[in-house]
Structure 1
Amino acid sequence: MSLQPLPAARRLTWLRWSCTTAMGLSLWCAGAALAFDVQGHRGARALAPENTLYGFQRALAIGVSTLELDVVLSAEGVPIVSHDTTANPDITRDPSGRWLQSRGQPFHTLTLAQIAALDVGRINPSSRYARDFPQQVAVDGERIPTLAAVLDLVKRQRADHVRFNIELKRNPERPQESPDPEAFVRAVLDVLRTQGMASRTSLQGFDWSLLKIAQRLAPEVPLAFLSAQRPRFNTLRTGAWSGGLREADFKDAPALLATAGARLWSPNFNDIDRKLIERAREEGLRVIPWTVNEVPDMERLIDWGVDGIITDHPERLRVVMEQRGMALPPTVDTAPARQN
């Protein structure tokens, strides 16, 4: 027997509750006419080069409510958009056009000029990555953009309804690959404030120590607490990622999140079930899982009442939502504003 989706009235009630009670969520909710958040993961990674201006344009054209992206710093302390703290050989070619053979120096030791010389417009065809995303269209010459360039792009597109969910990339088990944590957070906040985009942005991270810094420096900016409980990557087990808190010391993950001060939880979608989502509600948490790409998983999670989905396939998610009579985010005519 199929599960029934969360009624629209109940979903809206939850949105109003979270807007009025959760620290830092009032601005998150101000621009959200819909309770369900369609987040394009790294733009639209399954269809276009990840974390590139072209990829974000593709997501806007498909129609998302939020652009999900990742940031690190350059040697000058400028936020740039990259999922990895070092260049990923699966998607990166050097200035001569050759695929990188290994991960090089951390980005925070490279200048903007050195970073801009890297081509991230296609996937290395010999990599597993290429098999995972066979539909991705190559766009040779795409570069790693600065955070400011992404914000400028959305302004030029006049996509005033679109929000940003920015992951602060840092591995606490390899701190040498990242800059000073407070300097990192300050640099990102400076760009958001200069661009007037802080009110349209949430910050997320697996390393909750960065979120604690962000909450202190910008309590008005919503935070999303990422987690993974996979056999090879469990961010709640030792406390290294989760601010010293360990799941073994709590009733369950939602109890740990509540103790950490979370109001928005983004778990790996494989780590949750309907009961755990209900527990999250009891702890006052909104739930937006990552990274959901298959239609049956999208359907199940919507039926369970999640508040949004982070996906490499926003076009698939829109079809699922349309079939359920859910309102869709506007699409954006991106043709006039293409600039690199």
Structure 2
Amino acid sequence: MLLPVTLVTYIGNVAMAAPLGGDTLSSRHNNRIHLMKEPAIDVQAHRGGTGLMPENTVASMLNAVKLGVKTLELDCSITADKKVVVSHDPYMSADIMLKPDGSPISKEEEKGLAIYKMPYDSVRSYQAGVKPHPVHQQQAHVKTYKPLLSELIDSVEAYVKANHLKPVCYNMETKCMPQYDNVFHPAPDEFVKLVMEVLKEKGIQNRVIIQSFDVRTLQILHKHYPAMQTSLLVYGQDSFETQINKLGFYPTTYSPYFSLVTPELVKAAHTNHVTVLPWTVNKEEDMKQMATYGVDGIISDYPDKLIGLFGNYQRP
């Protein structure tokens, strides 16, 4: 039997096969346009795309928006004067920060420079983006600082509006751990309250998901802000069911370290209407592998690679 010749078109990680006989070029084109309205994978820029720009800065977030990501992943810490600042480390990291006068910070003194012990004016005076990154050596050098969450949101929203772009989403981590309560951050109930105050003021709650390794912050959100989307960050080897039992409810998203992801895990999550979002995936072969497993999004330091594979949210 002679089989019809097929035209195979790759859209994101999905191969679409269309027989050359029986349809028109126009209908195939229209079908592809329909399927390409939005990338199949939610491209998330880790800390704004640390491989490209200084992490967790306005510069990195705007660069990610320009590239065409859908979601900006970032970290929240709290200052002494109860401001929400965007920072992965709860202190001034010797690896990426410099003192206000441009001098280096030693490993011995970095944890003594806790953000939770400084007013925001002091936090802002430390220099980011100047020191070469120890891992991401191609990262651009842009002298900048740790911004307030409110400033970062304002900057992104203004850029999106001015350039007539589709609204972007935010994936915000509460940098919170039980052993560091009242040392590097406030207790989780206050932490959540401070973050939510900013989100309510900016009116973007429906485009935000809050993620954490600390189940306490997610439990507080689930109880007091049930409309908020939540994401459970996972690193250990415990099963999906065990992790969910610890949390006590099904979050919007299950976000494991990428090497923990299997087709079986994705199936278990999807069966319970939970999306899967692995972190931090920086090699293209791993990105492709995650897509074959059926994940819903990918967090990467190199969002440009993800966009090259799965498409541009702003210009599909």
Is the shorter-chain TM-score for this pair beyond 0.5, marking a shared fold?
yes
Matching residue of 1:295:
284
Distance (whole Å) between structure 2 residues aligned to residue 34 and residue 317 of structure 1:
10
Q: Which moved more, 1:104-113 or 1:147-156?
A: 104-113
Q: Is the 8 A contact 2:41 2:291 kept in 1?
A: no
Q: Who is 1:329 aligned against?
A: 313
Whether the 8 Å CA contact 1:72–1:82 is kept in 2: the answer is yes
- Structure 1 residue 153 corresponds to structure 2 residue 155: yes
> Structure 1 residue aligned with 2:235, among 228, 238, 256?
228
1:6 and 1:305 in contact (8 A); partners too: no
- The yes-or-no answer on 1:170 pairing with 2:176 is yes
Larger radius of gyration: 2
Q: Deviations over 1:94-127 (max 9, x none)?
A: 111011113123211100111011001134x4xx
2:262 to 256, 273, 288: 273
Offset of residue 253 of structure 1:
2.1
For residues 279-302 of structure 1, the C-alpha deviation after alignment (integer angstroms, 9 at most, x for no partner) is 222333210100101000000111
RMSD between aligned residues: 2.1
Mapped partners of 2:220, 2:66: distance in 1: 34
| Cα distance, 1:78–1:160 mapped onto 2, change above 3 Å | farther
- Paired with 1:214 and 1:99, the residues of 2 have a C-alpha distance of 38
1:109 aligns with 2:117: yes
Secondary structure at the counterpart of residue 42 of structure 1:
helix
Contact conserved, 1:71 with 1:147, CA < 8 A, in 2?
Answer: yes
Q: What SS does the corresponding residue of 1:173 show, helix, strand or coil?
A: helix
Q: 1:46 aligns with which of 42, 51, 64?
A: 51
Q: Is the 8 A contact 2:240 2:268 kept in 1?
A: no
Partners of 2:68 and 2:39 in 1: CA distance: 14
Task: Give the alignment's TM-score, normalised by structure 1.
Answer: 0.76
Report the residue type matching 1:178 in the other structure. Answer: H
Aligned equivalents of 1:133, 1:297: Cα separation in 2 = 18
Please give the residue correspondences for 1:50-89 in structure 2 after superposition, counting only pairs within 5 Å. 50-89=55-94
Aligned length: 274
Match of 1:336 in 2: none
Q: 2:294 aligns with which of 295, 305, 311?
A: 305
* 1:216 alignment partner in structure 2: 223
Structure with the higher fraction of residues in strand conformation: 2
Shift of 1:34: 5.5
**Structure 2 counterpart of 1:253:** 240
Give, in whole Å, the separation in 2 of the partners of 1:6 and 1:170. Answer: 38
The one-letter amino acid paired with 1:73 is I
Partner deviation per Cα, 1:306-337 (whole Å, 9 max, x = no partner): 00000110110111114xxxxx3016xxxxxx
Q: Runs of 4+ in structure 1 displaced over 6 angstroms?
A: none
Among 117, 139, 156, the alignment partner of 2:142 is 139
Residue 219 of structure 1: how far off its partner (Å):
1.0
Q: Deviations over 1:5-54 (max 9, x none)?
A: 5689xxxxxxxxxxxxxxxxxxxxxxx96652111110011010000111
